[in-house]
């Protein structure tokens, strides 16, 4: 029996080199350079530079997410059923990465100023291509190894790189755009060329990183071809119904990413109109949304061992709520708001909690995939990642829909680059503090229902490998 267990350890519980870990993580860095720019800055580009009103932009974000609901399951099913010559999952890093780069650049082109049709075509195209990269990339994670400790390390490295991309976007974009813009601003039509050039640079770097990720990854834990032939789109709903941990994680994704997306997309408005900050101060504020990753993400494995997986979520979600409360109080007291360092402190505290909690949740995706394989005998990574992708994008959609609706409701003046009404300022403050805090309270409740401990997952994975050995 001991020999059998030892064989299991060698079969599915692979250890990765640091080059392989960083190679895989570079894929998330690439996607963040592209998609974080979309998530953080496309709304303010649309309203203040491109010339769309907030309500039209909000409705467009909603429509695109409805398209994703239909498109993502098709992609997930396709990647599970097929094994391209370049790799079952990694091939899409290149095949999807090239058109993703093109559409992302075109999203920030002002050649058809104010055209809603052009905005729809480019944004829908970008979103569909992002799915072609993101769903297989997520499935690639679960195909590298079954080892929970290795997955924890891999996730920490991945989130470190993801937040490196987030920092490059949050801090770098306002800096570069304001430097290239003729008027030194980011929220005027004069900055249109600067936005296009900046997105061109970021997208091409992202494509190079996707290619590097492709070269350093290899699928090791995948479903047999005989089993993939039976994968169908309806498996998405079937898996969602019977896989309780997956349902919990899916709803956690919605609330967590909605919280992040709403706060991120409103951050630039907050610094411009509530704090009346300079482009440099805006860059500092947005950059602080990623800085805690470099301090705390390397500590995640040790923190998890010390207090446990669920407790780690509770602690850091609570820290995030506290930071949002600080931000709201500071913003409501004029004398405090003028102290920019207090705004920075609140942003740092908030971001510390958000980054650790939302970063580690990606480590739970391979767990729910293994749970599904254990209960059904099929490892449908593409389907599971398509489902999590739908909820991820649903949360991200709220980052465009909710701010757009709120801005329209409070009569945001998109033609004014410096001042808004007290009502508009209050609406922006709700977007960066109150609404995200409410969503985090809901997230705490949702994650409390997650029941897969590390011990349970390790046992499940070993039983799966033993079952496969018995078939051979």
How far from 164 is each of 29, 198, 240, 449, CA to CA, in Å? 7, 17, 32, 31
Q: State the Cα–Cα distance between residues 51 and 47, nearest whole angstrom.
A: 5
Nearest to 202 by CA among 175, 178, 168: 168
Q: Which residue intervals of 181-224 are DSSP H helices?
A: 192-216
Helices then strands, each counted (H, E), the chain: 22, 0
Q: Is residue 227 part of a domain?
A: no
Q: Is residue 1 part of a domain?
A: no
Domain CATH code at residue 306: 1.20.1250.20
Q: Is residue 302 part of a domain?
A: yes
CB 41 within 8 A of CB 170: no
Quick one: CA dihedral 333, 334, 338, 343, positive or negative? Answer: positive
Residue 127 has which token pair? 């979103």
Residue 375 has which token pair? 């209960």
CB 188 within 8 A of CB 417: yes
Question: For residue 14, what pLDDT is reported?
Answer: 67
Mean pLDDT by 10 residues, the chain (472 residues): 46 76 93 90 92 89 81 80 81 94 96 94 94 86 75 80 89 94 91 96 96 88 55 68 86 89 88 89 89 83 86 94 95 86 95 87 82 75 70 74 88 83 92 95 94 82 76 62
Question: For residue 318, what pLDDT is reported?
Answer: 96
Q: Is residue 229 part of a domain?
A: no
Backbone phi, psi, residue 42, to 5°: -65, -35
CB 180 within 8 A of CB 199: no
Q: Is residue 7 part of a domain?
A: no
Q: Is residue 422 part of a domain?
A: yes
Total domain count for the chain?
A: 1
The pTM is what? 0.76
Question: For residue 11, what pLDDT is reported?
Answer: 57
Q: State the Cα–Cα distance between residues 257 and 391, nearest whole angstrom.
A: 9
- Non-local (6+) Cβ contacts of 6 within 8 A are none
Question: For residue 3, what pLDDT is reported?
Answer: 47
Q: State the Cα–Cα distance between residues 263 and 399, nearest whole angstrom.
A: 7
What domain range is 368 assigned to? 18-218+234-471
Nearest to 346 by CA among 328, 373, 368: 328
Q: Is residue 72 part of a domain?
A: yes
């Amino acid at each position: 029996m001991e020999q059998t267990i030892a064989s299991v350890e060698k079969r599915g519980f692979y250890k990765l080199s640091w080059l392989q870990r960083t190679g895989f993580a570079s894929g998330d860095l690439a996607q963040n350079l592209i998609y974080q720019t979309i998530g953080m800055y496309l709304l303010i580009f649309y309203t203040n530079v491109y010339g769309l009103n907030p309500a039209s932009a909000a409705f467009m974000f909603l429509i695109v997410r409805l398209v994703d609901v239909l498109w993502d399951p098709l992609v997930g099913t396709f990647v599970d059923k097929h094994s391209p010559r370049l790799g079952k999952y990694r091939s899409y890093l290149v095949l999807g990465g090239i058109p993703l780069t093109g559409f992302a650049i075109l999203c920030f082109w002002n050649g058809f100023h104010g055209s809603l049709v052009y905005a729809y075509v480019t944004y829908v195209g970008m979103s569909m291509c992002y799915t072609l990269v993101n769903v297989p990339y997520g499935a690639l994670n679960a195909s590298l190894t079954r080892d929970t400790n290795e997955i924890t390390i891999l996730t920490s490295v991945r989130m470190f790189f993801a937040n490196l991309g987030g920092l490059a976007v949050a801090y770098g974009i306002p800096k570069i755009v304001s430097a290239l813009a003729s008027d030194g601003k980011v929220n005027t039509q004069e900055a249109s060329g600067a936005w296009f050039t900046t997105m061109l640079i970021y997208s091409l770097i992202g494509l190079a990183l996707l290619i590097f990720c492709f070269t350093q990854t290899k699928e090791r834990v995948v479903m047999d071809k005989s089993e993939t032939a039976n994968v169908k789109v309806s498996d998405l709903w079937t898996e969602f119904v019977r896989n309780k941990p997956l349902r919990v994680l899916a709803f956690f994704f919605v609330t967590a990413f909605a919280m992040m997306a709403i706060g991120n997309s409103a951050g630039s408005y907050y610094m411009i109109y509530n704090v009346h900050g300079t482009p440099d101060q805006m860059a500092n504020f947005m950059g602080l949304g990623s800085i805690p990753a470099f301090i705390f993400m390397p500590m995640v494995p040790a923190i998890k061992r010390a207090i446990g997986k669920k407790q780690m979520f509770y602690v850091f979600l609570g820290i995030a709520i506290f930071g949002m409360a600080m931000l709201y109080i500071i913003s409501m007291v004029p004398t405090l708001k003028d102290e920019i360092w207090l705004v920075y402190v609140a942003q740092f505290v908030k971001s510390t909690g958000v980054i650790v909690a939302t970063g580690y949740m990606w480590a739970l995706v391979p767990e729910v995939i293994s749970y599904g394989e254990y209960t059904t005998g099929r490892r449908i990574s593409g389907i599971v990642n398509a489902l999590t992708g739908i909820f991820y994008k649903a949360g991200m959609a709220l980052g465009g829909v909710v701010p757009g609706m709120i801005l329209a409701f409070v009569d945001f003046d998109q033609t004014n680059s410096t001042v808004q009404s007290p009502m508009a300022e209050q609406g922006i403050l709700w977007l960066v503090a109150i609404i995200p805090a409410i969503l985090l309270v809901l997230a705490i409740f949702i994650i409390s229902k997650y029941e897969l401990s590390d011990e349970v997952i390790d046992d499940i994975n070993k039983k799966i490998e033993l079952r496969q050995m018995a078939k051979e």
